[in-house]
Amino acid sequence: MYKEKHPLKSICLLRLSSLGDITHMIPIINTIKNKNHKINITWIINKTEYELVKYIKNIRFIVIDKQSIYKSIKQLYELRSITFDVLLHMQVSLRSNIFSMIIRSNRKIGYNKHLSKNLHSLLNYEEIDCRKDVHVLDTFFCFLKKISINDEILDWSLDIIESDFYRRLSDSKYVVINPFTSSRRFNYREWDLKNYKDISKFLFNKYKIRTIVVGGASKYEINRSKIFNGISYIDNFVAKTNLQELYTILKNCDTYIGPDSGTLHIASMLNKPVIGLYATSNPRRTGPYKNMNYTINRYPEALRRFENKDENDVKWGFRVRDKNAMSLIKIEDVKNMIEKIMN
């Protein structure tokens, strides 16, 4: 194992996205700072995800616009006057591979071959020593062990300016749902929107709790969310919040319900009861890290029904690509979890 001869003075973190994974980076940042508060941290991150963490103190952010690869490369070339003590290459993608080749560093640490693809392992001097069957956050901590930081401080404390506009929500009881996930083809993580309507009605009739629906600004989400319009106990905030406003809404909610998404991980970060809806992906890898007690896990059943396999037959991180998989989660499953939380 490599041992540091001198305390690290500079570290570059290459983790661009996604929003859920960026929330997992917060304990990593806080653990590094706790170990060495004098270290200079540079974080290369996508423009959208930057909005969540931009108020973290004592970090130099290199904000990447993924819509312009030329502009991004030009930005990184401006860093070539710096040679970092270590680069933690924590993203597996062709884009991050290109970026890692531009960055100068005495050490470059990336994923091992079990956790990498897209030629990632060929571009790093060193690999993390990490089991493949662990949560995403646990793999991030494996990077720290490679630089002699063995602590695992599960601290999601985040410098953020909360929104005044939604502060009034703290006076009322409400549940937040985000029915939408990545727009990538064959994603299939979304539960039937009519089910969320039924759950919202159940929450209001039994507990007098309103529902707030959140989501992004894509045409897909805006159009699909219209199903919630005109219902007195549902507030449709899809495309109406930035990340600071979303943070405020989640901080003041009673419970969060939804599939694997960045919003789910922010709610988990804030110690909210999270009813995670999982059928196409394994919650042991990407579930709400701080609280798995209310996760509905139909992933093993989906593997058997749609892939004719069990968990031992597939690679860690394997996704079930069937549009019917999420239908394995029943309305009664969610109602039972709500009652478990409320009681």
Structural domains of the chain, ranges and CATH numbers in brackets: 10-145 (3.40.50.2000), 167-342 (3.40.50.2000)
**Range from 56-65, 76-85, 120-129, 218-227 carrying the lowest mean pLDDT:** 120-129
Residue 147: strand, helix, or coil: coil
Residues in Cβ contact with 113 at an 8 Å cutoff, skipping those fewer than 6 apart: 121, 127
The pLDDT of residue 123 is 80
**What pLDDT digit, counting tens, does each position of 50-102 carry?**
999 999 999 999 999 988 888 899 999 989 999 999 999 999 998 999 899 99
The pLDDT of residue 334 is 98
The pLDDT of residue 54 is 95
Contact 210, 172 (CB under 8 A): yes
Q: What tokens appear for 13 in the block?
A: 């973190």
The pLDDT of residue 196 is 98
**What pLDDT digit, counting tens, does each position of 5-24 carry?**
678 999 999 999 999 999 99
Q: In the predicted model, what is the mean pLDDT of the chain?
A: 93
Q: What tokens appear for 52 in the block?
A: 């969540």
The pLDDT of residue 3 is 57
CA-to-CA distance for 68 and 52, rounded, in angstroms?
Answer: 21
Beta-strand (E) ranges in the chain?
10-14, 40-46, 59-64, 84-89, 105-110, 126-127, 174-177, 210-213, 234-236, 255-259, 274-278, 296-297
Please state the pTM of the whole predicted model.
0.93
Q: How many CB atoms lie within 10 A of CB 177?
A: 27
Integer-rounded Cα radius of gyration of the chain: 21
Q: What is the mean pLDDT of residues 156-163?
A: 82
For residue 289, CA distances in Å to 17, 21, 27, 176, 305 come to 17, 11, 12, 18, 27
Quote helix, strand, coil % in the chain, to nearest 5. Answer: 40, 15, 45
For residue 269, CA distances in Å to 24, 26, 247, 266 come to 8, 9, 10, 5
Contact 185, 124 (CB under 8 A): no
